[in-house]
Amino acid sequence: MALQLFRTKSPDLLIAEAAAPERQMKRTLGPVALTAIGIGAIIGAGIFSLTGTAAAGQTFASRLETPVINFIQAWMSGTGVVFGRAGAGPAIAASFVVAGIACAFAAFCYAELASMIPVSGSAYTYSYATLGEIVAWIIGWDLILEYAVGNMAVAVSWSGYFVQLCDSLFHLKFPLWLVNDHQTATDLLAKGGAALEAYSSTALPIIAGHSIAFNLPALLIVAAVTVLLVYGIRESAHTNTTIVIIKTAVVVFVIAFGAFMVNPSNWHPFTPNGFAGLMSGAAIVFFAFIGFDAVSTTAEETRNPQRDMPIGIIVSLIICTVLYVLMSAVLTGIKKYTIYTGDAAPVATAFSSKPWAQALVSAGALAGTTSVLLVFQLGQPRIFMAMARDGLLPQYFAKIHPRFRTPHITTIWTGVVVAGVAMVTNIGDLADLTNIGTLFAFILVCFGVNVLRRVAPERPRPFRVPFVPVFPILGVLMCLVLMLSLPVMTWIRFVVWLAIGLLIYFLYSVRHSKLRRGMDAGITEDVPPPLINFIVRLRRGIVFRRSRSTYLSQFLRRLLCVRNSIVDFQPRECCRLLRVEPQFFRFFDEEIALLQIIVETAGFHLFAPASDLRRRFLLAALVEPFNYLFVTSALLDLRSEIFASYPLKSEERAIQRTIEMIFADVPCHECAAFVDGAAKNSIATNSKARTARRFLC
């Protein structure tokens, strides 16, 4: 049982499952669209709010809000716990460079795995292929924190920027109860005074004796994004690209216009708190980089994922790093960094003498949160879809819209949940869960690269992480340090969240896992057993006759239930290369251990093996009630590769009788001669032997 929890799913199988016609989505995204998705996810409201905190430092009100690393440092040094973090000062620009480099380690790992396994699911899928099912479930559950829970907070933040922008541009005010959840509205009423000046009405409606309040803008923006995502990936990508252009233009404006307001004396001293302050600032601003991993969730909608996924991930990170460094340098140059202490809107403070500039910055923040909302709402449904494909969630969630080719079920349900929670609850206190969940995913992805390099070093890698295992290990260490920089309360909530996820896994997912059911399945009614009449000829002198048919029939019927042993390894012009994993060898007894026989339905046909293959291979066709064809070659690593052509007009070309032919290092012309000889010996009819010969030659 314990070993089954860590069973992995071959990357080839993951790719094959995604290639099924009923699961295919529109491949419309190119490198520009992917880069825009990455920028859209990375540049959010964080750059407009985190810079001041990272430059000036921060203090904590309680022990639960204090980072875990502060307690570790106090324990190691024997001093008291410091309830605060030093700021980087003008060196905040260098902090962004450090954070960008730290993020690059994880980005490289994502790029390699995304190019190797171009399947929706992001870190969930990569963990399933490298670390096992239970780890994949934990990551899938964990990514809900990054995407769904994160988007709830983003939707509430979007509503705040929207209300602020309407007030500053159009002097349009909304009733208190229409743009706030009930708890926030009640808190604002308790504060009174200036806190209520931004609203046209402060009275809460009473229905059935209860006061009501809800955040309508948060509901509407999530609903609009959900409809757009259901309609199509092309339209969503175009909308996101437009929004990204707007918010990038705002950031460029802040840099260009602010450069003329810089006072170089504000940059001295450059590192007021030394190296510790610089690293503390890096820990804070790292979270402004989170989001590039959302690019990997669109792999199945990318035209050339092997080439374009690494481009989208890495280029978006580079662009955002450059913009962040320049913007932070301008902000600390316009005003002394100490001005930003406790300031949640440092950009607005820097341009306080320019009201029109403040309005423009608010518009940029609104655009920033909109694109984050769009990209994260794009990513979450695709992770749910990948989990449903594997049986860890109900199959209902794996459906693809027949017209739009989008995961409409998971998109709609994600939108309903996010909109519903954002409308009635302010989850700002849970926003740190997004950070810890994302960092945890980064760590496992970095581990996955090292694991896959060891277990499958021969696999083609369109993009390779340099200096393996050094870069992945550095990525793990960097992310671990940043996780420790999060508050104690965030860790407590994170552990509780994972415990809930594990409970769901053991109550539902472990029993419905397709991989588990495939490995444990016996003969089932939904898999019709073929009528097998084996006459196997081996040069080794082993001959199987009808006495073996019962054993082989049971074996093949069982193997049909184990469809996960069949994995799409390498598409070719008119065939697929499949692989049987070593764990399935237990189905073979010693006498036939060298015969790697596999069955796949849907009428595969005989064909000539690729000329570059220099391995032994087996050709076999089983006819009743369906026809099957397999070509296997034994590998040096004791695996078996299976070749099978795509099913084309299987009824017209159906082989009417069983033909089994085994060759060891035999050229194609000898294979054809064997077919002719088999026909003469009545192993197969002349007509069907000629059909086999045509495909062999």
Percentage of the chain beyond pLDDT 90 is: 27
- pLDDT value at residue 46: 66
Give 563-584 pLDDT, tens digit per residue: 333 333 333 333 333 333 444 4
Q: Name, in order, each residue with C-beta under 8 angstroms of 606's C-beta and a sequence gap of 6 or more.
A: 619, 621, 629, 645, 691, 692, 695, 696
Q: What is the pLDDT of residues 288-298, one digit of tens each?
A: 888 888 899 89
Mean pLDDT to the nearest integer, 639-653: 34
Beta bridge partners of 620: 630, 660
Say which residue, 173 or 53, is predicted with more confidence. Answer: 173
What pLDDT score does 80 carry? 75
Mean pLDDT, residues 275-297: 84
Mean pLDDT of 260-272: 90
| pLDDT at 215 > cutoff 90 | yes
Please write the tens of the pLDDT for every residue from 404-413: 888 999 999 9
pLDDT in tens, 10-46: 777 777 777 666 677 888 899 999 999 999 989 876 6
Range among 64-68, 249-253, 425-429 rated most confident: 249-253
Give me the helices (H) in 538-582, please: 549-561
324, with CB counted inside 10 A (0-12, 13-18, 19+), is buried
What is the average per-residue pLDDT within 516-533? Answer: 35
DSSP track, 160-209: HHHHHHHHHHH---EEGGGBS-HHHHHHHHHH-GGGGTTEEE-PPPEETT
What would the mean pLDDT of 326-330 be, rounded to a whole number? 91
Domain architecture of the chain: domains with CATH: 2-179+215-512 (1.20.1740.10), 536-696 (no CATH)
Mean pLDDT over residues 276-285, rounded?
82
Q: Among 259-263, 501-505, 549-553, 669-673, where is mean pLDDT lowest?
A: 549-553
Q: Please state, in angstroms and rounded to a whole number, the distance separating the CA atoms of residues 379 and 136.
A: 16
Of 236, 327, 253, nearest to 288 (Cα)?
327
Once rounded to an integer, what is the mean pLDDT over residues 460-470?
91
Lowest mean pLDDT, pick from 4-8, 64-68, 388-392: 4-8
pLDDT band of residue 520 (cuts 50, 70, 90) is: very low
Helices (H), 260-402: 274-285, 305-334, 346-350, 355-389
Cβ atoms 118, 306 nearer than 8 A: yes
Q: Is residue 135 over pLDDT 80?
A: yes
Residue 508 has what pLDDT? 92
Report the chain's mean pLDDT, rounded to a whole number: 73
- Mean pLDDT confidence for 323-327: 92
- Residue 221, pLDDT > 80, answer yes
| Banded pLDDT at 523 (limits 50, 70, 90) | very low
pLDDT band at 668 (very low <50, low <70, confident <90, very high): low
pLDDT at position 99, please? 87
pLDDT at residue 97 above 50?
Answer: yes
More confident residue, 242 or 64: 242
- In the predicted model, is pLDDT for residue 379 greater than 60? yes
For the cut 90, the answer to whether the pLDDT of residue 445 exceeds it is yes
Judged by average pLDDT, the poorest of 132-136, 174-178, 184-188, 342-346 is 342-346
Name the CA radius of gyration of the chain, rounded: 30
Give yes or no for residue 415 having a pLDDT over 90.
Answer: yes
pLDDT at 616: 30
Distance separating alpha carbons of residues 426 and 187, to the nearest angstrom: 11
* Residue 178 pLDDT class (50, 70, 90 cuts): very high
Question: What band does 169 get if pLDDT is binned at 50, 70 and 90?
Answer: confident
For 464-496, give the DSSP string: --TTTTHHHHHHHHHHHHHHHTSBHHHHHHHHH
More confident call, 97 vs 630: 97
- The stretch 678-689 carries a mean pLDDT of 38
Query: Mean pLDDT, to the nearest integer, of 231-239?
Result: 85
| Structure tokens, 500 | 């809930």
What value does the mean pLDDT take over residues 471-490? 89
> What pLDDT is stored for residue 1 in this prediction?
53
Q: Average the pLDDT over each of 152-156, 210-214, 415-419 and give the range with the smallest value.
A: 152-156
DSSP string, 302-339: BSSHHHHHHHHHHHHHHHHHHHHHHHHHHHHHHS-GGG
Q: What is the pLDDT of residue 343?
A: 60
Candidate from 69-78, 253-262, 391-400 with smallest mean pLDDT: 69-78
Whether 501 shows a pLDDT value over 90: the answer reads: yes
What's the mean pLDDT in 58-68? Answer: 77
Q: What is the pLDDT of residues 591-616, one digit of tens each?
A: 233 333 333 322 232 333 333 332 23
According to DSSP, the residues that pair with 622 across neighbouring strands are: 628
At 438, is the pLDDT very low, low, confident or very high (cuts 50, 70, 90)? confident
Residue 539 pLDDT: 25
How many other C-beta atoms lie within 10 A of the C-beta of residue 86?
18
pLDDT in tens, 333-377: 998 888 877 665 677 677 777 777 777 877 888 888 899 899 989
116 pLDDT exceeds 60?
A: yes
What one-letter code names the amino acid at 244?
Answer: V
User: For position 20, what pLDDT does the model report?
Assistant: 67
Global pTM exceeds 0.85: no
Cβ-contact 634, 640 below 8 angstroms = yes
For 65-77, the pLDDT digits (tens) are 788 888 888 888 8
